[in-house]
Amino acid sequence: MKHLEESDVGISFYISQLPGFRGILKQRYCDFIVNEVDSDGNVVHLTSLDAPPESMEKNETKISDQSNKGYASEIELFRSLVGDSDAECLKGLIDQVASGIEDGVSPIVLSPSSDKSHRTAVHNFFKENLKFLVTDTIDGPDTSSKCIRVRLNSGGSHNNGRNSRKRKDRRDKPFDSRGSDNWSEHVGKFLRFHLYKENKDTQEAIGLIGKMLGIQPRSFGFAGTKDKRSVSTQRVTVFKQYANRLAALNERLIGIKVGDFCHVREGLVLGQLLGNRFTITLRGVVADSEETIKASADALGRLGFINYFGLQRFGSGSVPTHLIGAALLRGEWETAVSLILDPREGERDAIRKAREYYKESDDIEGTLRQFPRHLVAEKAILQCLKKYPGNYLQALKAIPRTLRMMYVHSYQSYLWNHAASMRVQKYGTKQVVLGDLVYCKGDNAEKETRVVNSEFDDDGCSDAFDSSHFDEISETDLPEERKDPVKALDAEDLLTGNYTIDDVVLPLPGSRAIYPTNDIAQVYHDFAKKDAISLTESVHSVKEFSITNMTGGFRRVFQKPIDFEWELLTYTEGNIPLAETDWDKITKSKPLNIIGGEDLRNGNEKENSFQCMKQSESFEHNVNLSTDNNEPNGVTEIGLPQVEPQFESGAPEAQRALKLSFTLPASCYATMAIRELLKTSTSVAFQKTLNTLS
């Protein structure tokens, strides 16, 4: 199956008729800066790395005081149990604790063992001899072995045997609360901090921090995922941790910083944000004239863009997620499993060969050994099929809930995009027409515009997975706040002129969805019928995969960028950042030296390497930033190629760049705003051609 094009998922029209121009999106990840906008409308920035003075005393004997006594006899006893290598690792850990730097002490992982009785003996050794350390069991390098992890007991020297609980019992709890029994009731149980990351997705960054702290991913909460290929800042909460422990990680974290700490009573959950502030730099800009660029930027600020679900919504691979969603809605469980597992174009050779191996051999064990960790859905399915051969529905339910619901949500988005295109094609973009759906106006109406998919209740971070597998098209949910805030316009409404084109919404199909009372409603049914899906009847009894059991929701058809600004720049050095990040502002010197060699901004910058042409324009829109649709998820602008610019030998020629800054409500796609500006496709294939030509 070929890679997706925009027309495949209903992305077909533009608002303005102005000509577009050439510009490269995300040539470098620092060209795409995202700052979360919290529920109070504040833009989230990283401003300080320092931990505030702790407002509580830890109810524990100082670990370093305990460690001042010698532990030579215990280490030798441990050596007789596990051998020299692990004994030396333990000695190093105790030496670190004794030095008084317990807040920066990392866990150690002992050698793999397939002998459960031996592992039990090791656990008991620590309980009996080194109570200021705690242990747990993690997966080993292969399926037959496990490793014991040893870390500092942050909850004090009296662990009361709580670490003897089975890991499976801990999974039933919403947070990994080990080591926190003595937390003061006067201090919020959640530490909130600002997470700054470069070229990493949210789950990856949180997973790394959790590993360094020795806690599980479910201890963290966040409002939405941010794009991997970007520089982003967002809020994160973690259960019962001290700020100085996290602050101490900054020296060891690469491409990640944490700061702006405070304790709060409640943890973050998906959807608790108003939107995101974007700073996007388009490089290699080529247009007929400078006036073309100015006119296009002006039009984007005044008119906005069609609020399509972007290509990222439908996955980055050659098997679009909405096709898997369609199979689920039809109750074709085996087909859905095959679509997820079968070979597909565009993947790395190792993954392609693993998929082909399974298709030819049905060898689950052998395939699991070949699949990389990030193929979360695939591995979950195979592990379930190993236990329940032929039970494809059970295998699909083994996929983490947040991930498996993306398939069905993607199909809803597919129908919405096609309906939006038909609305634009038939009735234009300038005025409302009879039968259009709008949010009812009146007291508190704007406050009631959030539509919720209550059937998608989600426990936040408990199902942690590598979201980059689906280009971070994660879903989020909010509690339902209204019953019926939407109405179809009648003749009287058209006469009063109370509603404008900006008020028009379209439904995401579900049991409570209201459809326009004009011919746009039929678009939903016609496209669903082509996929043998009924929007009014379910062919199976599995509620989570049934569109008639989903509440549905509404989404604005047209969206204007908020607090929109733009600036036309010229530059000569392609590897010089053109926008300032939060980290740049903190250091007030050279930006962070990042992994992978892409952003080695280490002193080659010249003060005048680029000149800002003072031709910026600003368009302030008095728009209340509110989540006015049913998908208030973190922004997910991904999938564009990671290709570095190539320069000819000799003096580089001056090039133009367009820097844009704007805010969008949650679930709006910045790539769709850029598409309106450039009048070009956001598909991976097209963006690759631009990088090749640059």
- Catalytically annotated residues: 227
> Six-digit token pair at 503?
């008020």
Which ranges of 428-511 would DSSP assign to H, the alpha helix?
Answer: 491-496
Dihedral Cα 114, 116, 117, 121, nearest 10 deg: 100
- Residue 90 CA to chain centroid, in angstroms? 37
- Give the C-alpha distances (Å, rounded to integers) separating 642 from 72, 598, 638, 658, 685: 52, 10, 10, 19, 12
In the 8-state DSSP scheme, what is residue 4? P
Place of tokens 């010089």: 576
Please, which residues bridge with residue 437 across strands?
488, 505
Place of tokens 């656990």: 123
Q: In 3-state terms, the chain is what percent helix, strand and coil (to 5)?
A: 35, 15, 45
CB 162 within 8 A of CB 182: no
| Closest by CA position to 86, among listed 125, 35, 43, 60 | 125
In the 8-state DSSP scheme, what is residue 291? H
| Closest by CA position to 134, among listed 78, 166, 99, 179 | 179
Backbone angle region of 667, left / alpha / beta, with phi > 0 → left and psi within -120 to 50 → alpha = left
| Closest by CA position to 370, among listed 386, 392, 353 | 353
| Residues in Cβ contact with 494 at an 8 Å cutoff, skipping those fewer than 6 apart | 432, 433, 434
CB 475 within 8 A of CB 223: no
Please, which residues bridge with residue 610 across strands?
571
Three-class secondary structure of residue 687 per DSSP: helix
| Residues in Cβ contact with 345 at an 8 Å cutoff, skipping those fewer than 6 apart | 1, 2, 3, 317, 318
Residue type, 490: D
Q: H or E segment at 65?
A: helix 63-67
Burial of 181 (0-12, 13-18, 19+ CB in 10 A): middle
> Six-digit token pair at 633?
């998820």
Burial of 194 (0-12, 13-18, 19+ CB in 10 A): buried
Return phi, psi of residue 656, to 5°. -105, 150
Rg of the chain over Cα atoms, rounded to whole angstroms, equals 27
Whether the CA torsion 139, 142, 144, 147 is positive or negative: it is negative
Please, which residues bridge with residue 235 across strands?
194
Number of H helices, E strands in the chain: 20, 20
Return phi, psi of residue 363, to 5°. -85, 100
Q: CA 394 to CA 289: how far, in whole Å?
A: 59
Whether the CA torsion 383, 386, 392, 394 is positive or negative: it is negative
Backbone angle region of 77, left / alpha / beta, with phi > 0 → left and psi within -120 to 50 → alpha = alpha
| Residues in Cβ contact with 362 at an 8 Å cutoff, skipping those fewer than 6 apart | none
Q: Around Cβ 217, how many Cβ atoms within 10 Å?
A: 17
CB 494 within 8 A of CB 432: yes
